[in-house]
């Protein structure tokens, strides 16, 4: 990848640049290039379809990890009218790899949580590359319980390759808190909408991923572990990650077929990183639509349906 | 209603089979990986797979757990006929399943059933490390779930002996991951009815099994030196790029950090479970 452009989309990006130049020329020099532009536009459209309609699972993983892909805080900024961030797990510290707080969605208060990746190297180090410690998950749980108390719906924006594998994380019970989050989320009496916006890896994603609606962005991935981890464990070779991505059936399209997710949120052509605004607006529309459906239901029915959904997964006999 | 529902359950009682989960299976002699003593395999088996020199706890198969912990002839296996396929079409998975079935005599990595422990009626489950590392796929998730649901319907306590090298089974991808949610929910519903659940963490209990039903027991016991944690030690080492402290993620580490209630030697386990069941008046409740 060079300057944020993937190898496979280079011809398209060059074509788009050419169109852009012709447009500028038209404007600045007053020469009419509309015919040429139209021809190139239709060529670009074909190329766009050609390239982006047959992305391999690994290419999608790469798009999901694009350094300019919108982060949790980007979505919060673009989708909600207001946001008040809440910090800390009340036990050890505030984990910057997990953010959360109260936001207004078209005027109504909701609780938003999500892992936060960094925007640059410095930010990434501060945020531990978006890999939460147990206290991050504990903070998320605290905010979710708070949401339940005040009857606020919960929106979980998930982009995490996994829970942080470190010594302190293990000391503070990474496994225990993940189990605890899963258990408690399952029974919360408020609507929960989870969105896999980028990466969804292992228990680190599921710990904030149990809900009434599971949505997934078109190029996001979600699986039992990252392709690299799978390749390492099964074949002792991280270079086989491409193969693992294929085998794991981790794309949104696979997961919709398995009924693990409810809906695929389309991304702007080429990926969410190419147009944050458009991506956020598409997601906002979906959130509002699902929330309206869920809020019409009594809490007990909500929980019963949620449990039923998970109970059915893997019953194949 | 419950009777109709549970009437669908199928039971197959079969004779306990020797399993080969531990490194004990073949050869007249077995070397202890901890103290390097050469142990007479027959003696070792008699000693519950514990080294009589340094008390190193070798791994133990699921049927051996039944034989060790439950009253003789009391165990009735549940859901033995539950067999999964290869939902993702993961290459090599069918062979792996077939090999594990042959090696362990189990149909899947989890053995569940109803039995008695010192006279107390309960639902018992054990994970066998010898079956694809004791990992949880859809069948293990379903069996654990059904075990808790059965216990809930019959108002029985549950004792689980967990193991699992990687936790969730990779060959079943996202479907494996979802079993963490499914089993955790079954545990909670059983718990909300006031019923007792004890989990014994044995070597190794990692990843998705640790981060779901194994962590959610009322009382969590561990065998000495069992590896217990979320991320595998190799992954941790590669992430932090430094050598791990000795004893990292062992049962003693988990105890010191407040993650388990007590470490119990295998020879004491049956006695301790009996005591705990006694304290909870059997751990079940009169049917209502
Ligand atoms: Zn020894």
User: In CATH, what number is assigned to the domain containing residue A93?
Assistant: 3.90.226.10
Indicate whether A94 and A70 sit together in one domain: yes
Give yes or no for B3 touching A (CB within 8 A). Answer: no
Enumerate residue ranges in chain A where pLDDT < 70: 316-317
Residue B5 pLDDT: 33
Residue B17 pLDDT: 41
Give yes or no for A102 touching B (CB within 8 A). Answer: no
Delimit the domains of chain B by residue range.
1-57, 59-279
Q: Report, as an integer, the average pLDDT of B20-26.
A: 48
Give yes or no for B268 touching A (CB within 8 A). Answer: no
Whether residue A22 contacts residue A43, with contact meaning beta carbons closer than 8 Å, is answered with no
**What is residue B202's DSSP assignment?**
E
Indicate whether A285 and A301 sit together in one domain: yes
User: Which residues of chain B make contact with A310, given a CB cutoff of 8 A?
Assistant: 178, 181-182, 185
Indicate whether A26 and A129 sit together in one domain: no
Residue A316 pLDDT: 59
Residue B218: is its pLDDT beyond 70? Answer: yes
Interface of A with B in 147-206 (CB under 8 A): 162-167, 169-176, 178-180, 182-183, 186-187, 202-203, 206
CATH code at B59-279? 3.90.226.10
Give ion ligand 1 contacts, CB < 5 A.
B 32, 34-35, 51, 53-54, 56
For an interface test with B, give the residue of A134, A185, A203, A212 to mutate (most B CBs within 10 A). A203
- Nearest chain B CA: its distance from A186 CA (Å): 7
Q: Own/partner pairs for B271-280, CB < 8 Å, 24+ apart?
A: B272/B221, B273/B69, B273/B117, B273/B118, B273/B159, B273/B198, B273/B200, B274/B117, B274/B118, B274/B120, B276/B196, B276/B198, B276/B219, B277/B117, B277/B118, B277/B120, B277/B122, B277/B157, B277/B196, B280/B157, B280/B196
Residue B11: is its pLDDT beyond 50? Answer: no
A143: CB partners within 8 A, 6+ apart: A86, A100, A101, A111, A113
User: Which residues of chain A make contact with B214, given a CB cutoff of 8 A?
Assistant: 179
Residue B178 pLDDT: 97
Indicate whether A15 and A96 sit together in one domain: no
**Domain that includes residue A140, residue range:** 61-312
Q: How many angstroms separate the CA atoms of A210 and A193, rounded?
A: 8
User: Which residues of chain A make contact with B257, given a CB cutoff of 8 A?
Assistant: 171-173
- Nearest chain A CA: its distance from B257 CA (Å): 6
Is A2 domain-assigned? no
Of residues A176, A183, A317, nearest to B259 (C-beta): A176
Is A295 domain-assigned? yes
Residue B33: is its pLDDT beyond 70? Answer: yes
Higher-scoring residue by pLDDT: B28, A211: A211
- Smallest CA-to-CA distance from A187 within A145, A244, A128, A220 is with A145
Judged by DSSP in three states, A86 sits in coil
- Nearest chain A CA: its distance from B85 CA (Å): 9
Whether residue A114 contacts residue A159, with contact meaning beta carbons closer than 8 Å, is answered with yes
Q: How many angstroms separate the CA atoms of B128 and B130, rounded?
A: 5
- Nearest chain B CA: its distance from A93 CA (Å): 17
Whether residue B136 contacts residue B164, with contact meaning beta carbons closer than 8 Å, is answered with yes
Indicate whether A248 and A207 sit together in one domain: yes
A279: CB partners within 8 A, 6+ apart: A70, A217, A267, A268, A272
Per-residue pLDDT tens digits for B37-57: 999 999 999 999 999 999 999
Residue B285: is its pLDDT beyond 90? Answer: no
Give me B143's structure tokens.
């069996």
Across all residues in chain B, what is the average pLDDT? 89
Is A90 domain-assigned? yes
Give yes or no for B197 touching A (CB within 8 A). Answer: no
Do A174 and B172 lie within an 8 Å CB cutoff? Answer: no
Residue A29 pLDDT: 85
Q: Number of helices and strands (H, E) in chain B?
A: 10, 10
Is A317 domain-assigned? no
Judged by DSSP in three states, B98 sits in helix
Residue B26 pLDDT: 57
What share of chain B in percent tops pLDDT 90? Answer: 83
Preceding omega of B204 cis (within 30 degrees of 0)? yes
Indicate whether A92 and A19 sit together in one domain: no
Residue A87 pLDDT: 98
Indicate whether A114 and A45 sit together in one domain: no
Give yes or no for B235 touching A (CB within 8 A). Answer: yes
Q: How far is the CA of B20 from the centre of ligand 1 (A)?
A: 19
Per-residue pLDDT tens digits for A110-146: 999 999 999 999 999 999 999 999 999 999 999 999 9
Residue B22: is its pLDDT beyond 70? Answer: no
Of residues A203, A254, A315, nearest to B208 (C-beta): A203
Is A205 domain-assigned? yes
Indicate whether A97 and A211 sit together in one domain: yes
pTM of the full structure: 0.93
Do A179 and B215 lie within an 8 Å CB cutoff? Answer: yes
Residue A199 pLDDT: 98
Per-residue pLDDT tens digits for A160-191: 999 999 999 999 999 999 999 999 999 999 99
Q: How many angstroms separate the CA atoms of B200 and B161, rounded?
A: 5
Domain count, chain A: 2
Is A239 domain-assigned? yes
């Amino acid at each position: 990848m060079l300057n944020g452009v993937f190898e496979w989309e280079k011809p398209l990006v060059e074509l788009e640049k050419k169109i852009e130049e012709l447009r500028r020329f038209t404007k600045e020099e007053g020469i009419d290039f509309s015919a040429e532009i139209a021809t190139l536009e239709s060529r670009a459209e074909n190329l766009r379809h050609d390239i982006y309609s047959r992305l391999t699972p690994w290419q999608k993983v790469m798009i999901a990890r694009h350094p300019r892909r919108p982060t949790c805080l980007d979505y919060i900024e673009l989708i909600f009218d207001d946001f008040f961030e809440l910090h800390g797990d009340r036990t050890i510290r505030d984990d910057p790899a997990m953010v959360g707080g109260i936001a207004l969605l078209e005027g109504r208060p909701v609780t938003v949580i999500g892992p936060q990746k960094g925007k640059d190297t410095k930010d990434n180090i501060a945020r531990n590359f978006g890999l939460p410690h147990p206290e991050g998950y504990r903070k998320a749980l605290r905010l979710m319980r708070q949401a339940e108390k005040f009857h606020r719906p919960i929106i979980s924006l998930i982009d995490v390759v996994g829970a942080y594998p470190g010594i302190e994380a293990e000391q503070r019970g990474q496994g225990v808190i993940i189990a605890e989050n899963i258990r408690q989320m399952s029974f919360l009496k408020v609507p929960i909408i989870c969105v896999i916006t980028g990466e969804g890896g292992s228990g680190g994603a599921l710990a904030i991923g149990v809900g009434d609606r599971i949505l997934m962005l078109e190029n996001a991935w979600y699986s039992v572990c990252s392709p690299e981890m799978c390749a390492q464990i099964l074949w002792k070779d991280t270079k086989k990650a491409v193969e693992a991505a294929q085998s794991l059936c981790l794309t949104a399209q696979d997961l919709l077929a398995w009924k693990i997710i409810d809906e695929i949120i389309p991304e702007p052509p080429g990926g969410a990183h190419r147009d944050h605004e458009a991506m956020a607006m598409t997601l906002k529309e979906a959130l509002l639509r699902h929330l309206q459906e869920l809020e019409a239901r009594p809490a007990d029915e909500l929980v019963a349906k949620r449990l039923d959904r998970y109970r059915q997964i893997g019953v194949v006999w | 209603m419950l009777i109709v529902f549970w009437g669908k359950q199928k039971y197959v009682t079969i004779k306990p089979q020797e399993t080969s989960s531990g490194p004990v299976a073949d050869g007249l002699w077995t070397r202890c990986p901890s103290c390097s003593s050469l142990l007479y395999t027959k003696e070792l088996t008699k000693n519950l797979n514990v080294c009589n020199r340094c008390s190193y706890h070798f791994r133990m198969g699921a049927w051996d757990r039944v034989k060790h912990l439950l009253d003789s002839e009391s165990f009735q296996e549940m859901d033995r006929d539950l067999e999964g396929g290869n939902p993702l079409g993961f290459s090599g998975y069918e062979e792996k399943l077939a090999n594990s079935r042959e090696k362990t005599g189990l149909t899947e990595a989890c053995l569940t059933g109803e039995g008695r422990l010192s006279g107390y009626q309960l639902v018992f489950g054990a994970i066998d490390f010898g079956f694809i590392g004791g990992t949880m796929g859809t069948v293990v998730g379903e069996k654990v779930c059904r075990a808790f649901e059965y216990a809930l319907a019959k108002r029985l306590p549950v004792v689980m002996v967990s193991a699992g090298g990687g936790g969730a089974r990779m060959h079943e991808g996202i479907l494996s991951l979802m079993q963490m949610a499914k089993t955790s929910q079954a545990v909670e519903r059983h718990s909300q009815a006031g019923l007792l659940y004890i989990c014994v963490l044995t070597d190794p209990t990692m990843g998705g099994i640790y981060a779901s039903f194994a962590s959610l027991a009322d009382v969590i016991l561990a065998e000495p030196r069992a590896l217990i944690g979320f991320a595998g030690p190799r992954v941790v080492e590669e992430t932090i790029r430094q050598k791990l402290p000795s004893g990292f993620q062992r049962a003693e580490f988990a105890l010191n950090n407040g993650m388990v209630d007590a470490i119990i030697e295998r020879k004491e386990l049956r006695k301790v479970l009996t005591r705990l069941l006694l304290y909870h008046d059997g751990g079940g409740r009169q049917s209502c």
